[in-house]
Chain A
């Protein structure tokens, strides 16, 4: 009897107390590590957002000219805009109208702009300086001037303030996105043009206006200042529609079948393993598949949102199937038993009870899958969606760009000073689209959530 009960109790107490300190330290360490991870993650995301916003937000405002354009009847020597006469056939009218448009196209609109710029600057420009003068205005503004006149021929003989985009280099110069102290040889604009640009800015003829062209125009190479996202946006929209229409019903239906109805055997095991594998396949491989099957074998057009949508559907399907299955699995079996127990068939059980309860999870998974597809670039490169397309696609079969690919293309554009900001602006548009999709997912989740 060397150790008394009291001693033993005391010993146990000190042992536990000693281990307690260790346990508390462990807990503290772990909590700190977790907190640190969160802080690091949040910091990085914040830096990312701030840097994108700092670079991209200014690109939403663009140097814009407001010269007084005189629609000179001597320059615009055009017939009356044709009106369809009574009894005239549509074809005959179209013929006349086309003739008139061709005539309008041959008018020297640039000279009107040149003169307006001279007026604004208060100078007479010699022919050799004309280049410097024209370098101020985005090169395709002469076409928008033509379009304005064709739309409204009553402008003839009037003097009107017209909004025109300044050239990309002028925008860069005025925003200070280029080092102003660089020697002439390394400046994009001539000394004369720079001086004029500064003067027009001081006189408020050049202003920083909200850039509607960023949203309304398509990509442009001849006139970088008017390059916009409209084509890419529509292309992405078409692809999203195709992805949603195809991948959500197919994905949810296959998940329901696999989870609720399929027998558990080797075949379904194989299917399950392969779905999981597919979710891990690099997206560029889906691009290859799309290129060889949809374009090579089925002969669908290159660069079409239809093909892009199909490729992204293939890519999104496994994600949606896995999310839906997880969501179905999380519904307690007691609900299924309750429904089966009063004589509901399996289909009724699934559609009356399981599916409504799993809906929030299914919606969240689907929307996240679609959002992921929206931001996918690699597979689209392989089906030709990185081609330069200057039209807004009217159907999913037209050639088109896509938002992430547009970002990739602008990022590589040689006009770095100008397109760096445009790229960030495009990223902001894409992120905005994604955040709204995610917000929709959260809202749907909250809306359909059932309290137990």
Chain B
């Protein structure tokens, strides 16, 4: 076994996926985190992270299990609020406004920053109701026809319309895993958020379903800012404009995906993407 410290082995991940997609990212800072620390009870999960998210970019978080990437993602729309022992310090802004400000309404925030979870979790209701729930909740549609439009366009955006248009009244839980996840994405899109957070959206899916979701992410980045957590480095390489590497609660480095995979600045990043650990 070769244990010598070879300075730079060539990365295992073949880069080039980035070439196939054209970035829609702008220079506008959509969300910004400043010195964010997260505690679960007494133990600290995030050790002070500074990170900017640009409008219409796809930003991927990678890192070994337990590095805090999901925890950080969930801070961006305050999903951590639901965990009693979780405490967030520091400042996170959306469009330059602090999302943890006392007068900030979580409901409004989550309508602006939607989230898609690791395991598809459609409501045990019809496909139509799954999509219509959010718009109806926020009063986005005045009439039934408007709601129908939202449902159709959301399902179209999620690439699911042709597969389900004849069975909108069937339970959403009856779809396949990949379809369910796209249903969840459509459900999030239906509320027209600015930012979509995705927490390992493909980890429960087979390769074909994964490919569809990745294609969807690419299309969605035209109108949405997307922040995703992934365990799969190839996936980050395929879909992300920029990639952030997390390790033990620290943001080790963040750069354009090409840079991260071809020319990592930090030894830990290098070790991780070359498969030394993780």
The CA of A206 and the CA of B179, in the complex, are separated in Å by 76
Contact with A along B175-207 (1 / 0, CB 8 A): 000000000100110110000000000000000
Contact across chains for B134 and A343 when beta carbons are under 8 A apart: yes
B277 interfacial by beta-carbon distance below 8 Å: no
Contact across chains for A340 and B123 when beta carbons are under 8 A apart: no
Q: Smallest Cβ distance from A324 to chain B, in angstroms?
A: 19
Chain A residues with CB under 8 A of B119: 334
The CA of A129 and the CA of B189, in the complex, are separated in Å by 97
A451 interfacial by beta-carbon distance below 8 Å: yes
Contact across chains for B117 and A343 when beta carbons are under 8 A apart: no
- CB-based nearest B residue for A348: B137
Chain A residues with CB under 8 A of B134: 342-343
Q: A338-B121, A353-B123, A452-B124 are in contact. Are A343 and B84 (CB under 8 A)?
A: no
Q: Smallest Cβ distance from B204 to chain A, in angstroms?
A: 11
A362 interfacial by beta-carbon distance below 8 Å: no
Partner of B173, one of A339, A343, A452: A452
Chain A residues with CB under 8 A of B173: 451-452
The CA of A353 and the CA of B117, in the complex, are separated in Å by 17
Contact across chains for A337 and B117 when beta carbons are under 8 A apart: yes
Contact across chains for B82 and A337 when beta carbons are under 8 A apart: yes
Q: A263-B84, A264-B84, A352-B133 are in contact. Are A341 and B124 (CB under 8 A)?
A: no
Partner of B137, one of A334, A335, A342: A342
The CA of A94 and the CA of B104, in the complex, are separated in Å by 73
Contact with B along A312-342 (1 / 0, CB 8 A): 0000000000000000000010111111111
Residues 323-374 of A at the B interface (beta carbon under 8 Å): 332, 334-345, 348, 352-353, 357
Interface size on B, residues (CB 8 A): 30
Chain B residues with CB under 8 A of A342: 110-111, 114, 133-134, 137, 187-188, 190-191
Residues 112-128 of B at the A interface (beta carbon under 8 Å): 114-117, 119, 121-124
The CA of A389 and the CA of B190, in the complex, are separated in Å by 66
The CA of A325 and the CA of B116, in the complex, are separated in Å by 28
Chain B residues with CB under 8 A of A450: 124
B11 interfacial by beta-carbon distance below 8 Å: no
Q: Smallest Cβ distance from B74 to chain A, in angstroms?
A: 10
The CA of A342 and the CA of B197, in the complex, are separated in Å by 11
Chain A residues with CB under 8 A of B13: none
Contact across chains for B133 and A341 when beta carbons are under 8 A apart: no
Contact across chains for B121 and A334 when beta carbons are under 8 A apart: yes
Residues 98-144 of B at the A interface (beta carbon under 8 Å): 106-111, 114-117, 119, 121-124, 133-134, 137-138
Interface size on A, residues (CB 8 A): 22
The CA of A334 and the CA of B106, in the complex, are separated in Å by 18
The CA of A452 and the CA of B84, in the complex, are separated in Å by 28
Chain B residues with CB under 8 A of A345: 106-107
Contact across chains for A338 and B122 when beta carbons are under 8 A apart: yes
The CA of A276 and the CA of B79, in the complex, are separated in Å by 31
Q: Smallest Cβ distance from A335 to chain B, in angstroms?
A: 7
Contact across chains for A343 and B110 when beta carbons are under 8 A apart: yes
Contact across chains for A335 and B123 when beta carbons are under 8 A apart: yes
Residues 383-405 of A at the B interface (beta carbon under 8 Å): none
Partner of A337, one of B79, B124, B171: B79
Contact across chains for A337 and B121 when beta carbons are under 8 A apart: yes
Contact across chains for A343 and B111 when beta carbons are under 8 A apart: yes
Contact across chains for B117 and A340 when beta carbons are under 8 A apart: no
The CA of A345 and the CA of B119, in the complex, are separated in Å by 22
Contact across chains for B171 and A451 when beta carbons are under 8 A apart: yes
Q: Smallest Cβ distance from A265 to chain B, in angstroms?
A: 9
- Between A and B, 6 residue pairs with Cβ closer than 8 Å are A336-B82, A340-B82, A341-B77, A341-B110, A341-B117, A343-B108
Contact across chains for A343 and B121 when beta carbons are under 8 A apart: no
Chain A residues with CB under 8 A of B77: 341
Contact across chains for A340 and B79 when beta carbons are under 8 A apart: yes
The CA of A122 and the CA of B114, in the complex, are separated in Å by 96
Beyond known contacts A263-B84, A339-B133, A451-B171: 8 more, CB 8 A cutoff: A264-B84, A337-B117, A338-B187, A342-B133, A342-B137, A344-B137, A345-B106, A357-B124
Contact with A along B209-221 (1 / 0, CB 8 A): 0000000000000
Q: Smallest Cβ distance from B135 to chain A, in angstroms?
A: 9
- CB-based nearest A residue for B122: A338
Residues 222-272 of B at the A interface (beta carbon under 8 Å): none
The CA of A373 and the CA of B82, in the complex, are separated in Å by 37
The CA of A340 and the CA of B114, in the complex, are separated in Å by 10
Chain A CB count within 10 A is highest, among B77, B82, B119, for B82
Q: A343-B134, A343-B138, A451-B173 are in contact. Are A338 and B123 (CB under 8 A)?
A: yes
Chain A residues with CB under 8 A of B111: 342-343
Chain B residues with CB under 8 A of A348: 137
Chain A residues with CB under 8 A of B190: 342
The CA of A344 and the CA of B119, in the complex, are separated in Å by 19
Q: Smallest Cβ distance from A452 to chain B, in angstroms?
A: 5
The CA of A215 and the CA of B210, in the complex, are separated in Å by 69
